[in-house]
């Protein structure tokens, strides 16, 4: 049977032995099917199969499928390489939680083979766009699959900041910061801030305060299409930093503002047959593990 994809790029932290072993096995499996395999030029891991080493920034131009081997952090990194060309992503979990990298190591080659043969479902995830508007008029933009985070930086003092939604004032917060998460990112940082788990295909956005000073300051869910604005209230010895999926966008100064809204870019995840979002939740969050309530599929 001919392969559905003719070129595949592998992304992973090859210095981690389990990741390097998995990448080598995937490369061999793909090469046996006549598929060209790309890895980053800096990848010094040993491969038994022929691979082509190129700059990973060229993966979107060279490959038809991007495979992230590792945890969700690796997949988020791969997403930054893929979204400009809507290059589809497959996540092989060699990390810890793996809400996004959902293919288990034990079934890696079988599921990889399913995808290469065209047996998969497409799961389109929308991104957030964050823009820092500096006091001098300069703008810095980035996108995020999981979340945009405003947090205190290099200080032990809490932040005071305002939030606005579609031009309407919402609240003045005191605390360590704010997480604006997509439905995809609702199981990431926002979850540890008490935010809800949102089914990934819902067009929603979570705003979750980080360690709020007031207990009534709770996470809220709004439409992903809303425009969020965050302004830092001037206060001595405070400093805020903005990150998008863990990558620093810049500092939020009292004279600046941060806007967050829907991005035109998107990321397409591929899921092999048998993918079940709720099964992943049960597995990762240890739901239904009690003897009285255990389910046969858990």
Catalytic site positions: 72
Q: CA triplet 59, 61, 67: central angle to 5 degrees?
A: 35
CB 200 within 8 A of CB 277: yes
Question: Percent helix, strand and coil across the chain, each rounded to 5?
Answer: 20, 40, 40
Alpha helix (H) residue ranges in the chain: 17-32, 59-62, 72-82, 108-116, 189-192, 277-285
44 token code pair: 């010094």
Contact 67, 10 (CB under 8 A): yes
| Distance in angstroms (rounded) separating the CA atoms of residues 95 and 93 | 6
């Amino acid at each position: 049977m001919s392969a559905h994809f003719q070129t595949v790029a592998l992304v992973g932290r090859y210095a981690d032995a389990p990741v390097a072993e998995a990448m080598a096995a995937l490369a061999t499996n793909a090469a046996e099917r006549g598929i060209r395999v790309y890895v980053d030029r800096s990848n010094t891991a040993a491969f038994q199969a022929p691979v082509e080493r190129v700059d990973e920034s060229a993966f979107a131009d060279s490959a038809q499928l991007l495979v992230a081997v590792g945890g969700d952090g690796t997949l988020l990194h791969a997403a930054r390489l893929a979204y400009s060309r809507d290059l589809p992503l497959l996540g092989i979990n060699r990390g810890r939680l793996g809400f996004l990298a959902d293919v288990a190591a034990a079934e890696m080659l079988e599921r990889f083979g399913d995808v290469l043969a065209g047996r998969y479902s497409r799961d389109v995830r929308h991104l957030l766009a964050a823009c820092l508007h500096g006091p001098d008029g300069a703008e810095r933009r980035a996108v995020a699959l999981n979340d945009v985070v405003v947090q205190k930086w290099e200080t032990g003092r809490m932040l005071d900041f305002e939030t606005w939604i579609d031009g309407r004032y919402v609240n003045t917060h005191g605390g360590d910061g704010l997480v604006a998460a997509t439905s995809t990112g609702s199981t990431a940082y926002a979850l540890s801030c008490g935010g809800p788990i949102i089914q990934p295909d819902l067009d929603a956005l979570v705003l979750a305060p980080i360690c709020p000073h007031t207990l009534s300051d709770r996470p809220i869910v709004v439409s992903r299409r809303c425009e969020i604005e965050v302004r830092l209230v001037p206060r001595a010895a405070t400093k805020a930093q903005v990150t998008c999926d863990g990558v620093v966008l810049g500092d939020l100064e009292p004279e600046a503002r941060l806007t967050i809204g829907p991005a035109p870019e998107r990321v397409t995840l591929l899921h092999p047959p048998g993918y079940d979002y709720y099964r992943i939740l049960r597995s990762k969050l240890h739901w239904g593990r009690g003897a009285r309530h255990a389910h046969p599929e858990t």
